[in-house]
Structure formats: C-alpha cells, structure tokens
Amino acid sequence: KAGVTQTPRYLIKTRGQQVTLSCSPISGHRSVSWYQQTPGQGLQFLFEYFSETQRNKGNFPGRFSGRQFSNSRSEMNVSTLELGDSALYLCASSAWSGSKETQYFGPGTRLLVL
C-alpha cells in the first residue's frame, strides 16, 4: 500500500496570505489528523476528520480550518498567515485493529511565512 502523501512538500508565503495543504491517507483509512510542529511548541494536534466530519479539534485559532472529502483526502487551510505559522505540518491517517489505533504520518509540508 502507498503511504500517506502530502502536497506540496515546501511552501513559501508572505504574511496575510492564505495557504491550502493537502493530505491523501493510506487507502482504506478513514481518519485523518493534522499536526503542527515548531521548534518552540513541538508537535501539536490541530484537528481530526473522520468520514468527512471534524471529530476533534486542538487549541488553535479559527484561522486554521480543514475539511475531508468523500475519498478521505483532507485539506487544511490557514488564512491571514502570520510569521508564527511557519512550521512543519504533518498529516496522519489511522486505522483501527480491534481496540488499537495506529497513526501513520506523511512526510509533511514545510511552510515558511515571510
């Protein structure tokens, strides 16, 4: 099976712009989660989508939003970019086996806001 894919891999934007990142989960996985990784805050959970519905949300401002399509692909959007939004954005898809849920991460999108 192909792994989790994320596009684009690298992105440079300026303050005030908006950006859309894409994530394609492993085939058959219906849950997609997004994380932000920065040197100062580490890895932080943004939100999770399951069957096109947001199931969980982390503690991020409303400028961060996402959605999931019927084929489980997910996008996240950041509006009105700030310098502090520069980060590695990681997407994970997960599968359940009994009571065990395992996350598989994509390679990430590196966003630089100038």
Partner 1 sequence: GIQVEQSPPDLILQEGANSTLRCNFSDSVNNLQWFHQNPWGQLINLFYIPSGTKQNGRLSATTVATERYSLLYISSSQTTDSGVYFCAVERGHFGNEKLTFGTGTRLTIIP
DSSP state of 85: G
Euclidean distance between CA atoms 27 and 63, whole angstroms: 29
Cβ nearer to partner 1, comparing 73 with 104: 104
- Nearest-angstrom CA–CA distance, 51 and 108: 22
Compute how many other C-beta atoms are within 10 angstroms of the C-beta atom of residue 26.
Answer: 18
Instruction: Say how many residues touch partner 1, by CB under 8 A.
Output: 26
Q: At closest approach, how far in Å is the CB of 35 from partner 1?
A: 8
The nearer residue to partner 1, 67 or 110, going by C-beta atoms, is 110
**51-70 positions binding partner 1, by CB under 8 A:** 55-56, 58
User: β-strands 87-97, 10-13: how paired?
Assistant: unpaired
Binding mask 78-97 for partner 1 (x = CB under 8 A): ----------x-x-x-----
DSSP 28: T
Q: Which is nearer to partner 1, 108 or 113 (CB)?
A: 108
Tally Cβ neighbours within 10 Å of residue 75: 17
Binding footprint of partner 1 on the chain (CB under 8 A): 31, 33, 35, 37, 42-45, 48, 50, 55-56, 58, 88, 90, 92, 99-105, 107-108, 110
